[in-house]
Chain A
Amino acid sequence: MPRAIVLHRDDNVATVIDNGADAHSKCQLRGEQSGDVVLGAPIPYGHKVALKDIAAGGEIKKYGLIIGRATAPIPAGQHVHVHNVESLRGRGDVAAQPR
């Protein structure tokens, strides 16, 4: 069973630490939360999975702190990354905004 590590008990994402975390597989949580989450999509090694439903505009929490905001609703088990998260402070995969 693939595993994902949670770094803080308040986090709503976990980071996958195995290869082969396919859609519909159950992913076991390690670290500061326990249990498991059923993946709704394949999640590559090192990428994040949502632990609970996150509303559009909702905060993404890792290390117990806010690392970004959802740009669309993210159901539990979905891939959390640049396609559905925006930085609150600037990001590198789109052209820089004038500041």
Chain B
Amino acid sequence: MSFLGYERPDGTAGIRNWVGVISVQDNLNPVTRAICQGIYGTLPITTLFVRGQFGPDLEYAYSTLAGMGRNPNIAAALVVGLEPESTSVVADRIRNSGKPVETVVIQNLGGTIAATADGMRRAKRLVVEASKQRRRELPTDRLIVAVECGGSDTTSGLASNPAIGRVADRIVDEGGTVIISETSEFLGAEDLFAARAATPAVREAFLKRVLDHERDAMTRGVDIRGANPVPDNIRGGLTTIEEKALGAMSKAGTRPLVGVLDYAEWPTRKGLHFMYTPAPAVESMTGKAAGGCQMILFSTGVGNSIGNMVAPTVKVTGNANTARDFADNVDFDVSGILERDQSLTEAGDALYDFAMGVASGTRTASEVLDQRETAISRFQPTI
């Protein structure tokens, strides 16, 4: 199948055509927001901290900020910084994707009013230029689709996750890429997922990531394996951690695992990948969007409203109550699997068609309601 998308100079394909205004550090957020409030067609990509971060933790911050600027949904980037050095770190990394990148450096411009005015003029020009891009018919193999869950309940493992898994299989079969993350959710079934690795190296890399994560949590007093399933899960019917993990894993479909990615790392091949991220949705989606995902399929049982700033997020539920009571924030209802004997294949295929529509321009609830947020994972404290 195909979708209508925007071709970028680096060969990637966007499903949206935004100008991203990117804060290099948290102290730029007010200027970033002011520029975006004044200019239609911009997306504020904000962050907290960065100043005072160092080592690998700082590298994650820069790579995630730049990664979001490189995301194919961004036609051009305006990088907002305090001083020239940190600004150019992020700007240069986006620039080598070939898309237009401009900068606003507050210290050079003499304060926030001048910086906001300068930023607005640049953003206006970038938005007008970007608007000359046209959607073209592009093959599915240009898609990198992220899969995510939040607010899970019994229906997640029975309906919404397997339905998303069906879409994941179709995307991979058509030459596209799917990324699953949320590392802690694999505990209990990590051997089963590792068994799908395409090579021994991928298998070892995956297991190392998951088991290191478990060990790190343990040194901080958190026994993920021992604490799961939690009392709510048990009350809801989940019996073992492996049952819970398999329910979560079912959103990745059944195809082989071909790559293991670090947080915000871009895949270099097509197919199903695992990305190391924390489990909470905003951080997890931020990492995947920074890794190039144009769209996120998000399974929710009891209802989770948040989407990613850069990658349109399709909220899918298999819970008929949620589809009705949380309708404002639900994009696709697969509760027919449980309520009306709709087959998993039918529901998954209908979701696939909807997702391809989103790729071609159909808006999702979180975009229209602006329920979008960014959170870059921290791995060390600031000095």
Which residues of B34-48 have CB atoms within 8 Å of chain A's CB atoms?
none
**Which residues does chain B contribute within 8 Å of A23, judged by CB atoms?**
none
**Which residues does chain B contribute within 8 Å of A66, judged by CB atoms?**
242
Knowing A45-B154, A67-B246 are in contact, say whether A31-B344 is a contact too (CB < 8 A): yes
Contact of B239 among A16, A44, A48 (CB under 8 A): A48
A62 and B239 alpha carbons, distance in the complex (Å): 11
Closest A residue to B162 using CB positions? A7
A17 and B153 alpha carbons, distance in the complex (Å): 13
**Which residues does chain B contribute within 8 Å of A62, judged by CB atoms?**
243, 246
**Which residues does chain A contribute within 8 Å of B343, judged by CB atoms?**
31
**Which residues does chain A contribute within 8 Å of B223, judged by CB atoms?**
96
**Which residues does chain B contribute within 8 Å of A46, judged by CB atoms?**
153-154, 236-237
Cross-chain contact B237 with A96 (CB below 8 angstroms)? no
Cβ of A81 under 8 Å from chain B? yes
**Which residues does chain B contribute within 8 Å of A96, judged by CB atoms?**
223, 225-226
A80 and B237 alpha carbons, distance in the complex (Å): 9
A88 and B189 alpha carbons, distance in the complex (Å): 10
A48 and B227 alpha carbons, distance in the complex (Å): 21
Contact of A5 among B158, B225, B229 (CB under 8 A): B158
Tally chain B residues at the interface, Cβ within 8 Å: 32
Q: What's the least CB distance linking B193 to chain A, in Å?
A: 10
**Which residues does chain A contribute within 8 Å of B242, judged by CB atoms?**
65-68, 87-89
Which residues of B109-145 have CB atoms within 8 Å of chain A's CB atoms?
none
Contact of B158 among A17, A68, A91, A93 (CB under 8 A): A17
**Which residues does chain A contribute within 8 Å of B188, judged by CB atoms?**
87, 89-90
Cβ of A12 under 8 Å from chain B? no
Q: What's the least CB distance linking A12 to chain B, in Å?
A: 13
Cross-chain contact B243 with A68 (CB below 8 angstroms)? yes
Closest A residue to B339 using CB positions? A17
Cβ of A41 under 8 Å from chain B? no
Cβ of A78 under 8 Å from chain B? no
**Which residues does chain B contribute within 8 Å of A16, judged by CB atoms?**
237
**Which residues does chain B contribute within 8 Å of A47, judged by CB atoms?**
237
**Which residues does chain B contribute within 8 Å of A82, judged by CB atoms?**
234, 239
**When A and B form their complex, which 10 residue pairs have the shortest distance between CB atoms, in order from nearest?**
A96-B226, A46-B237, A46-B154, A87-B240, A67-B243, A47-B237, A90-B225, A68-B240, A17-B338, A92-B228
**Which A residues contact B (CB, under 8 angstroms)?**
5, 7, 15-17, 30-31, 44-48, 60, 62-63, 65-68, 80-82, 85-93, 96
Additional A-B contact list (19), CB under 8 Å, known A31-B343, A60-B239: A5-B337, A7-B158, A30-B341, A45-B237, A62-B246, A63-B246, A65-B246, A66-B242, A87-B188, A87-B241, A88-B240, A88-B242, A89-B241, A89-B242, A90-B241, A91-B226, A91-B229, A92-B241, A93-B231
